[in-house]
Amino acid sequence: MNPAPNLILVGPMGAGKTSIGKRVAERFGLLFVDADHVIVERAGASIPTLFEHVGEAGFREREKAALKDLLAGHGQLLSTGGGAVLDADNRALMRRRGYVVYLRVGVEAQLRRLGRCTNRPLLQRPDREDVLREMAVLREPLYHEVADLTLDTDGLTPPEATARLTQLLVHRWQPIEENA
């Protein structure tokens, strides 16, 4: 049993962090927080707009600040953006402040799940599959580095993945309460 104040989901876009995260948060009585939504709310602009005006580096700065603020809390399930693991400080903070679950998904499943979505700036290119493969090569070792647990979501519906993850977490993670 590995106690931690928060449950954190990492993984690439299309892995199910939001859809699975909401269900798991409900099962464990946690507050569900989507880091990307917090960044958008704080900036008053969409992620594509942020990428257009401040670039990926500016977005990553906002992401780092949001994660620092969010992970100061407890009793929440935090769904991170796919690139949150790129920053070493973010990875260290996640390890310190949460039980980290890597939701793994293959590129073929990502392509199916993401369809032709237009709100993911890094995929607004004709070579989407190549982009996803390049990101996987760079990010997969980082997901593994930070993860306490890995769940492969390929071939699983969100309810199936939720059931499997819930079963695993019952035996491996215990939320700890912190004094405010």
Cβ atoms of 98 and 7 closer than 8 Å: yes
**15 appears as a binding residue in the annotation:** yes
The C-alpha atoms of residue 139 and residue 11 are separated, in whole angstroms, by: 8
- Indicate the SS3 state at residue 180: coil
**36 appears as a binding residue in the annotation:** yes
**66 appears as a binding residue in the annotation:** no
For residue 132, report the phi and psi dihedrals to the nearest 5 degrees.
Answer: -65, -40
CA angle, 75 then 80 then 81, to 5° = 165
Q: Which residues contact 58 (CB under 8 A, 6 or more apart)?
A: 50
The C-alpha atoms of residue 57 and residue 146 are separated, in whole angstroms, by: 21
**22 appears as a binding residue in the annotation:** no
**18 appears as a binding residue in the annotation:** yes
**55 appears as a binding residue in the annotation:** no
**19 appears as a binding residue in the annotation:** yes
**120 appears as a binding residue in the annotation:** yes
**133 appears as a binding residue in the annotation:** no
**60 appears as a binding residue in the annotation:** yes
Detail the residues annotated as belonging to a binding site for ATP. 14-19, 120
Detail the residues annotated as belonging to a binding site for substrate. 36, 60, 82, 139
Detail the residues annotated as belonging to a binding site. 14-19, 36, 60, 82, 120, 139
Detail the residues annotated as belonging to a binding site for Mg(2+). 18
